[in-house]
Every structure is written in structure tokens, then in C-alpha cells.
Amino acid sequence: MAEFIKAIFLGIVEGITEWLPISSTGHMILVNEFIDNTGFTDTDLFLYVIQLGAILAVVTLYFQKLNPFSSKKTAEQKRGTWEMWFKVIAACVPAAVIGLLFNDYMDRIENWQVVSAMLILYGIGFIVVESLKRKAKITDISQLSYKTALTIGLFQVLSIVPGTSRSGATILGAIMLGCSRETAAEFSFFLAIPVMFGVSLLKLVTYNGVLTGHDAAVLVVAMAVAYVVSMLAIKFLMDFVKKHDFKPFGWYRMVLGLAVILWFSIIK
């Protein structure tokens, strides 16, 4: 029972932090300090595969926009949907190549010092970029060129550094390249589909342990919770950026980064 409770809690953390630009790794490090996160919930398989629940939330919310086979779309709209997917794939290539090359190294440097530094650095980045008050030139994904999509993909590569936040890096990069906040957030959601699905599949295929019935049940519960919470988090973010900028997330990251430093260097 205790492991199911932990799975629910971690599913909530995953659902919130995966989509908001605040670093899921930073939160997981702090969460693991306050709960006895041992057993199956502490394996890479669990921590990565619960992301599938979060991905299903994106697919559910944007199914019509993502579906190139929809009978409700005209031939031109279907071509536009395929074009969007080609841009997403192009943007994911850098992360797929560079991420695989440096994955093991980044796992080794995942510590509170690196995480806190990235939390603060990108927090400052959001505040500085938003303070420049750039006028958005790209207000829809259809306006993205392949060059811009690929450049956003290069920003996504930065998220392999622990504490950066995948959504944070891509959103920040997209805004710097002239995207509106809504477009930046939406494209970040879509980029997550192949990236997170691929990582989760890789963890399943390379898992060395034995997945018991109990482990599978724990994983399903966590995925279900991550799915529901992700739906709420995505809706919240899209509503929020229609009226506000990303500065509050920048300040939050800085406070969290300082909290990590305070906890590990002084309190603990």
C-alpha cells in the first residue's frame, strides 16, 4: 500500500512539473529527501515510464490538431498537420542524437549542485528574456520554418543537463526566436511526444530487472495520476500565458534553486 501512495504522489509531481517550465528533476530531488522513495518507485523504469501518462494527456487534449487522418479536416488541413509533424520530427533529431551520446554522462552529474545552478540560471533567463518585451512574429506553429523548428530542437538538447527542464529550454528558445508564448508552449508539448515516448520505450526495452504484477500495477496507477494532473497543468499553463508572461516561473525557479542549495548545504 505504501508504494501505491508514493506512486500517486510522484504521479502528481510528474503531471505538474513535466509541462510547467520549472524542472521535474529539481522537484524530484527534493521530493526524494522527504519520502522514503525506495523499491520500484526509485528505478529509472518507473521514473521515465510514468511520463507516458503525461504524454497521453497531450494527445487527448490536442488529438484533433495532431491527427492528420481526421475526417473533419480538409485536404489542405491534413497537409498542414503532416507539415507540423515533420517540423516536430526535425526539431527532435538533435535531442535524439546528442541525448543518446551524453545520456550516461548526464546521469552521472545529476546532483543538487548542477540542478540548483540550472534552476537559477534558467530562472534568470526567463526574467531577462521576458523583460525585453519582444513582439512575437510567429503566432502559430504553421508559421514556423524548418530552420526555426530545428533551432528550437537545439534548445531542447540543453534539457539533458539536470535541472534545466525540457519545457523550460524549448519555451525559452522559442520565445527568443520570435514565437508567441502560446505557440512556444504548444510546440514544446508536441516535441515531448516523440522524445518522451522514445525514452520511455528505451527504458522498457533495456530494463534489467523483472517487472512483477505488483510493479506493473504501481506503474499504471502513477501513469493514470500523471495523466489527470497533466491535463489540468496543460490547461492551466495555456490559460495563464494568454494573460501573463513567464516571469513568475522564472522567480519560482530561482527560489527553488536557492531552496535546494539551502537544504543540502546548510540544513541537511
**What pLDDT digit, counting tens, does each position of 213-232 carry?**
888 898 999 999 999 999 99
Which stretches of 40-74 are DSSP H helices?
Answer: 44-49, 51-61, 63-66
Contact 172, 155 (CB under 8 A): yes
- Angstrom CA distances, 115 to 30, 61, 81, 107, 143, stand at 11, 31, 36, 12, 34
Which DSSP state fits 142?
Answer: G
Helix pair angle (51-61, 181-206), 10° resolution: 140
pLDDT, one tens digit per residue, over 183-215 is: 999 999 999 998 888 877 777 777 777 778 888
* pLDDT tens-digit readout, 116-139: 999 999 999 999 999 997 889 999
Question: DSSP label at 138?
Answer: B
Residues 6+ apart with CB under 8 A from 45: 203, 204, 207, 209, 211, 219
Which of 159, 151, 126 is closest to 254 using CA atoms? Answer: 126
Residues sharing a CB contact under 8 Å with residue 25, sequence separation 6 or more, in sequence order:
110, 115, 162, 163, 165
**pTM confidence score:** 0.90
Mean per-residue pLDDT for 81-88?
96
Give the closest residue to 238 by CA, choosing from 80, 64, 87, 19.
Answer: 19
Mean of the pLDDT values across residues 98-115? Answer: 77
Asked if 163 and 116 touch (Cβ cutoff 8 Å), the reply is yes
Rounded to an integer, what distance in angstroms lies between the CA atom of residue 21 and that of residue 122? 9
